[in-house]
Structures are given as structure tokens and as C-alpha cells.
Amino acid sequence: MSGLTVDLIRLGLNAASLRHQAAASNIANAAVPGYKRLSVSFEDQLADQLSAVRQPDGLIGDLPAGVSPVLQEAATAGGEVALDVEVANMSQNVLRYETLVKGLSKHFSILSTAINEGKR
């Protein structure tokens, strides 16, 4: 199964999963001296790649290989973990993940309708 929509949703789900792991690790290690919080780099990378493949008519061609979420140490002053911020980030990430899953479900529902109606 391929297609730009499915590929983008897959990448978004992978990023959300990795972001959840980073937040969980940050929360679990908040009291560890010297621990540097983790974050996920993805949105800027994706935006750069999408602008590179955008066609003159505004449509997006194939997504180039190599776009993937990356877990990294956060570039914040001190790199310390603020539990309230991490919990808020995790909650926001859960909503983002659920939205992507609903979008994927809707996409497959449309495909299913097209297939089933085409049989009639």
C-alpha cells in the first residue's frame, strides 16, 4: 500500500510514537542529575522535503526517501526536564496521534467506498 497520503500519515504516526517515547523517557528521568531531555526533529525536515518536491501547479510529487523522525537531545538552556511541560506535550501528542489515525481510517473508508461502489 502506498500513496502520498498514506506515506505522510505513516511518517506522522512514526513521529508521534517517537515523540511519546521521548516524553516518557523525559518524565522517567526528570530527577536524574545531568539528564538532558529528548525531543523529536521531524516537522521542519518534512516541510523542507515537501517544498523540494512541490510541483509548479502546487501539487506534491513523490515523497523523497530519507524523511524520518529523529530522536535527539533538546537544544534548550540547561536541558532540564519540566514535568508539567512534558505532561502537556504528551497530552498534545496523544491528540495528534488520534487525529492521524482518524485521518488514515477516513482515507481507507473512502477507498473502500470507491471499490465497493465500483463493483455495482
Torsion angle of alpha carbons 15, 21, 24, 28, nearest 10°?
A: -140
Amino acid 96: pLDDT: 93
pLDDT tens by residue, 66-91: 778 888 887 766 567 888 989 999 99
Instruction: Please report the DSSP string for 70-103 in residue order.
Output: EEEE--SSTT---HHHHHHHHHHHHHHHHHHHHH
Residue 38: which of 14, 27, 22, 20 has the closest Cα? 22
Q: Is pLDDT of 28 > 60?
A: yes
- pLDDT at residue 101 tops 70: yes
For residues 99 and 34, the model is more confident at 99
84's grid cell = 508539567
Burial state string for 64-77 with b = 16 or more CB within 10 A and e = fewer than 16: eeebebeeeebeee
pLDDT surpasses 60 at 1: no
